[in-house]
Every structure is written in structure tokens, then in C-alpha cells.
Structure 1
Amino acid sequence: MSIAGKKLNQPASNSSSDKQEAAAAELLEHLIEVVDEHDKPVGYMPLEDVRRQALYHRQVIVLVYNEKNKIFLQKKEALKKRGKSLWDVSTSAPICAEQSAEETALAALSQELGITLQGLRPIGQALAGPSTGNAFISVFSTGMVPLEHIHSHPVVKNGFFFDHEEISSLVEHYREMLSPSLLLLWDMGVVFPASSF
């Protein structure tokens, strides 16, 4: 296997080749793995091109819960309907080239919410289609995270913790305030899994 024409098992011969390999590795970090309709890898492309062309790809969603088993939702400025921001999942990210679903999920959790964990619990998967933006989605749960770990990050100012009854009411009466991803997971029954954490 090679990156930018250089074999991975070939030792670097000079600083120039080190820089080339580092640049190639950095490039891969910004490329998304494109898949076919059967979730088989076919290549790598920048995320904006994947979305513009509505190509099949992979994505992760991580659901964060506090010690009271309330789920943390973000209000995303980038997700708007009739000028109003929508409530969205705790965090999500497309799976980058040569990265596993859990690696992507852990990185997104750390970068966006400042939460560092050793592992996550897989709780569901969604097939690609119009409702997912042609993404095959892997859903993970953090389990119950101590409040101090969540409240230490600035992004929490744009979020709130909801219990099952509150989200159920939002889905029933204010569905237009919720993102497509959140509604999809709610309909799948994975927002509050039946089994305990």
C-alpha cells in the first residue's frame, strides 16, 4: 500500500521524503472515503465534493448522556429551517480516509465537545439514503459521562440536556425544530436505548 507514491514500509531517506509523507498523511486526513451503494470503498474525495455530488460515504454520530441519563443536543447554526437553528445530535462527523468509525467518533467527541474517552458503545446503524444525505451512519453512545467533563467545553453553551419525555414532546409538537439526523435516530429507537448503559 502506498501514499502519494511512497511505500509505507520503505524507510525515509531524507527530510524531504519525511515532509512529503507528512503532507500526504495530512491530505488523507481531509479526504472522505467514498463508497458504493453496498458500502464498499471506491476512493477518496474532499467532503465538499462528496456532498455536492451526493455520493455515498460513511459517517458517525455520537450520543452523549449525563449522569441523569439525559442526552446532550446541540443547537446548530449551520442547520436552519425558516431561519431558526435546529436541535441536532450531540456530535457527528464523516469518516476520513484510512480511519475506523470508532476512531472518527472519538476524535469528533474530543475536538467538538472536549470529551476524551477510551472507547464507545455502538448502538445502531442506518443505511444510506435521502434521509441520511447518502451516508451509511454508525451510531455510538458515550454512556453516562460525569457532568464536569461536559461542562468544561465552550460548545456546551449552544446545547442543552433533554430527557426522554422532553424529546418525545418536541418530536410530537415541534418536529420542525429538530434536525433530520435526530429525527432519524428517534424513529430508529436509539436515542434512548432500551438497555441500560
Structure 2
Amino acid sequence: MARGFTLRMGMAFAPKKSLGQNFLQDEEVSRWIADQIEPDGAGYVVEVGPGQAALTQYLAGRPEKLLLIEKDNDLASRLRAQFAFDAKVELWHGDASKFDLRGLFEKGPVKLIGNLPYSMGGEILRHFMTPPTPVSMAVFMLQKEVCLRLAARQEDDEYGALSLLVQHDWVVEVLRVVGPESFKPRPRVDSAVVRMTPRPEGELAVHDRRLFDRLVRMGFSQRRKQLKNLLPEAPGGWGSLMEHLGKNVSVRAEELSLVDWVKLTRFYEGRSGEDRGQGLDEMFDVVNERDEVIGQAPRARVHAEGLLHRAVHVFVLNKHGDLWLQQRSHLKDKHPLAWDSSAAGHLDAGEDFESAVRRELKEELGIETETRKVAKIEASERTGWEFVELHEARHSGAMTFAPEEIRTGCFFRVEQVESWVKARPEDFAPGFVRCFEIWKAQGGSDW
């Protein structure tokens, strides 16, 4: 059925130059590209720019759900008509670069595939693949030149800022080159297929991601110049930095690998030594069932023995009422990489709840703002045996989160969070789920 659909659409539809449409016609290539995303039994697959369904015909029916994102009015109408009675296929009509990814988190790991238009490929790639993203694997076809830049290693001519910024988060492989003869109309350049999978957590040392991006862009802004003439003054001097990297003082941007650029970023931050999570010897107040302090104990013992102790959670909302969630660092001793409250943490020995709220906001998010207490939550297994005070804060400006504490974060609409928690509670730290239930039961924010 789908193959006949491709032929009918191809006969009746004229490609639009304004949308950069070059339709894939080679069925062998189409089938092969669809297979690379491993769609059989996948939970959720998104196809960007299905066009005349060259890939769709080999994807439909294989994953549990297939979402098609099509900008062209005529093609979207035809796709909707063709799959109107297929419950496994959905269509979203609009610009893929404006699609709200946040609603996909509740679907679990999402696979992404597309023959991207040359004119919009970079923008679409940036939109879907910049963390935080629900995408767990992506297969794209783009201009060969762009694909080579995405996958380039330090020794390759195509290596540059784009290579580093993408490979910071993704392992990129060029799978195949596709010639112009496979398209209609024929493009003037070769295309290529790349597969992108997440870089393993912890493979790169902890560093400030925003600073990394800024330094890389500065370093490649004028490729002929030496880095010492492009980057800010290094702590302790340029010679000290080059000695740390084991490089010549006249080094240029393309002479540094991804690992080198991470080391360079850490040097500017003043980081040294191995990455460490929370100190297991940090002292907490231990409390009884009435939340009365009865002693102190180190973090390791508190967690190992399930001793009652205290913590704070803070929900930070922006001016639209969206809730900022953090994804916990892989260095966390409990619930690493789980999604959690905007800021959360234990009370130190002798610390009160209000002081802990202010400290956690400053340490984790780099902000100081007014807060209000929302609820006091009894200690239970769901809270990790913590008596929790839940607070709210309003903040719409920049945040600078500590990479040892937080992997990434994003403002979500409250209804998106509610749906996500219901669909996949395992994605969250249990303490957050309990806090969110109580917050919603009280009507959410009315501040």
C-alpha cells in the first residue's frame, strides 16, 4: 500500500525549490536507510520530512508508533489521507525546527530519521540533537560535505567547530554516500547518510558546557591564527596552559582533539584531579519520626542504613508558569541521570531548611531569588527517608548549573511533566515524584 502511495505522489507533485525539496527515488537506498534506524519493535520513531514517503514506506508498521513531521501543505495533506486509518502512524504538520520536543520525553527513548532538506538541515539537526533531547539514535541524510564535517576527526581536513560541538554529545558515523542520480530533481552535490548515537556518560571529564562551546567557537573563528591570539588570557599564562596540554605555544585550533578541548576548558575553570560526586563523609543531621535531631552521621551511613534525615526540593517556575527540571549528573550516588526537581539537596549538619534552600539554588543553579514554602513532606521510602520541605521560586533569567550536580535541564510545561510522570515514573527521582504529586494536589503554583 505505502509503495503505491509513493508512486502516486511522485506523479502528481512538483518539488518546491523554496523548501529545498529533492526527493529520494531509489528504493534500494530507501530500504537500506530505513533499516539503519533499527525500527523493528522500536517504541517511538520520528521521521522528519517524509515528503513522498520514500523512507516511510519501509518504516510504517515496524515500530510501535511512527510520527511524521512534514512542513509542505500538499504533502502533509496526502500523508494524512494515506495513513488516516493506521493507528500506528501520526502526522504533525509544521516546521520541524519549531516542533516542541518536550512532549516526546514521555515516549521513552526516541529514534529519529530523515532525508533532511539542504536548506534547513543544519537548523533541524541543531533543534533535535542539542541536549536536553529525548533522541537516543538518529539517522540523517544530508549533503556529503556536511556529513564529513559532522564526523571529522582531528586529523581530517573537514575537522572544525561543528565537529567538536556535535561530537561533544554524539558519536557520529558516516554510513554511506548517495549520488545525485538517486534523487529527483537531481542535486548538484553528493549526499551521505550519518548515524548518531549518544556519547557514553563519563567518557569526557566534567566541565562547563557553555564555556566549552564559547572557547571552541572563538578558537575556530580565524583558523589561520594561533590560539593564543584568539582565546582569553589563560589562568597562570598561556605557557602554563600549553604545558598542561602538552602542546606547543603556537598551536592552532585544529591541532587539538575533543579531549584536548575539554582539558583546555577545565583549565580555564580551574578544575584539576579526578571527577568526584558528593562526598560520602559529608555530615547530616539524623532525626527521629517527629523530625527532631537526635545525632549526626556521614552521608554514606545515612544512605546505607536508611536513617531519617532532612532535605529540600525547590520548584523553579518562569513567567509562563513552566517548571524547570534538572537531569541529575552521572556522578550522583543515588538516582544518577534521573530527572529531578529544579534544585534539591540534603541539609548539612546544623543547617535549617531556609538556609538549605538558598544554598542549593546558588550551588546548583547559580541564582539568588525569593522563595516560598509550599509543603512539609513526611519521610518515607518514596522520599529516600527524608523529611522534605518543598519550596517554589520564580526565575526567568539565565542559570549556571554545576556539571558535577546537573547533566542538563529544561523548562517544561506543567501538563507535559504530569503526562511524563504518569507514563514513565521510572525516569524520575522518586523524591521528585512525591513532591510533584503534593504540589499538584494543592493546585500547583498560584504565586
Instruction: Report TM bin, short chain.
Output: 0.7 to 0.9
TM-score w.r.t. the length of structure 2 is 0.34
How far the C-alpha of 1:70 sits from its partner, in A, is: 0.8
In the other structure, the counterpart of 2:299 is 47
Identity, in percent, stands at 25
How far the C-alpha of 1:195 sits from its partner, in A, is: 4.9
Residue 147 of structure 1: SS of its match in structure 2? coil
How far the C-alpha of 1:172 sits from its partner, in A, is: 2.4
Q: What amino acid maps onto 2:425 in structure 1?
A: R
Task: Tell me if the contact between 2:285 and 2:349 (Cα under 8 Å) persists in the aligned partners.
Answer: yes
Once the two structures are superposed, residues 124-149 of structure 1 have per-residue CA deviations (whole angstroms, 9 ceiling, x without a partner) of 1110111111111111111x21223x
In the other structure, the counterpart of 1:131 is 382
Once the two structures are superposed, residues 121-175 of structure 1 have per-residue CA deviations (whole angstroms, 9 ceiling, x without a partner) of 0001110111111111111111x21223x2x446576001111111121022222
Query: Which ranges of structure 2 fall in alignment gaps of 5 or more residues?
Result: 1-280
Q: CA RMSD in A?
A: 2.3
Relative to 1, partners in 2 of residues 1:103 and 1:190: Cα closer, same or farther, differing over 3 Å?
farther
Residue 169 of structure 1: SS of its match in structure 2? helix
What is the number of residues matched between the two proteins?
A: 161
How far the C-alpha of 1:30 sits from its partner, in A, is: 3.7
Residue 186 (1) aligns with residue 415 (2): no
Q: How many Å separate the matches in 1 of 2:415 and 2:396? A: 21
Q: What amino acid maps onto 1:173 in structure 2?
A: A
Q: What amino acid maps onto 1:128 in structure 2?
A: A
Name which one, 1 or 2, has greater alpha-carbon Rg. 2
Q: How many Å separate the matches in 2 of 1:139 and 1:30? A: 22
Q: How many Å separate the matches in 1 of 2:401 and 2:349? A: 27
Q: How many Å separate the matches in 1 of 2:317 and 2:361? A: 12
Query: Which ranges of structure 1 fall in alignment gaps of 5 or more residues?
Result: 1-28
Q: What amino acid maps onto 2:353 in structure 1?
A: A
How far the C-alpha of 1:86 sits from its partner, in A, is: 1.9
Relative to 1, partners in 2 of residues 1:49 and 1:189: Cα closer, same or farther, differing over 3 Å?
same
More strand by share: 1
Relative to 1, partners in 2 of residues 1:57 and 1:88: Cα closer, same or farther, differing over 3 Å?
same
In the other structure, the counterpart of 1:161 is 411
Relative to 1, partners in 2 of residues 1:192 and 1:111: Cα closer, same or farther, differing over 3 Å?
farther
Q: How many Å separate the matches in 2 of 1:191 and 1:157? A: 29
In the other structure, the counterpart of 2:326 is 74
Q: How many Å separate the matches in 1 of 2:326 and 2:292? A: 31
